[in-house]
Amino acid sequence: MKFMIIVTGANGFIGSAIVWELNQAGFEDIIAVDSVNLQTRNLLQKRKYTNFYEASELWSFLATPEAKKSVSWIIHMGACSSTTETNWDFLYANNFQYTQRLFEWCSQNQKSLIYASSAATYGAGENGFDDTYDSEKLKPLNLYGDSKVIMDRWAVKQKAQPVNWYGLKFFNVFGPNEYEKESMASVAFKSYNQLKTADQLGLFKSYNSLYKDGEQLRDFVYVKDVTRWIKEIMDKKPENGIYNMGYGEARSWLDMAKSLFAALKKPLKINWLEMPEPIKSQYQYFTKANMTKWQSQKMSAPEWPLEKAIEDYVVNYLSKQDPWL
């Protein structure tokens, strides 16, 4: 039997990196799906895959006998990833209803599903960052987080479920192929581009007395850990449910900045910036993925600590003329 994999969001950051990971493992029978066509941008130029469909075209393919027979996994990374998006109808349709429909198709046809949730579902972290915590009690800080948490809430309540299913709560993922994310690109990527033409780096001041400037904490996770873990899920098939995707450590923006300056062999120099008002009200001062559930399934530890990840990102990708995975 054929082993076909559908990757949505394949022409985006994490999706294209997943196709890279699958190619590394020898998988080429891949259906790549994205709302952004290959004429607009092409993050898959180095990758091997069978077909590319725009997001609206996927449903016609899923209705075919070939899909029902050959598809084994759907890895659904396609969504609106903007944390500042204010159009709730757009978010609801793209981040909830589309995912819901894929979940139902996988349930009906006994296929396996991985979909992207988000650490934004945890809000300010007043209830911690534990993937076993009741998602009904979580209070996201923005509409993007709301659009993700309603899928998690809905999924766990379903009696009919895919044979294997996993909602992955991504923390601060960064790494190669995020170059087209514009305002949603990682601070590591934006900072590198600042430092190409300047000797100092702009970082937001802190407006929380518990955190000094630059000591706001984030769980930074390298995309190569994320894609390796997704392949590991496919291989090991842990218990179904929601899982955090983070390194499991809280590191400061200054830690990230020091790693960048070191990789570029420049002396550390920071320019502290005022935070825009729209960001202040939804700013997370601390994130740290609780990885206990992941570890309980005997899944692997991360391999890319911040310093090693930044060095790989800068030396092997950002500083190259052809920086794509």
Tell me the catalytic residues.
144, 181
Q: Which residue reads 């030396």 in tokens?
A: 315
d(CA 149, CA 283): 18
State the sign of the Cα–Cα–Cα–Cα dihedral 99, 100, 104, 110: positive
> Quick one: which of 3, 233, 37, 20 has its CA closest to 116?
233
Q: Which residues contact 310 (CB under 8 A, 6 or more apart)?
A: 188, 256, 259, 260, 262, 263
214-236 CB burial, b ≥16 within 10 A, e <16? bebbbbbbbbbbbbbbbbebbee
d(CA 214, CA 253): 5
Neighbour tally for 279: CB within 10 Å: 11
Neighbour tally for 190: CB within 10 Å: 16
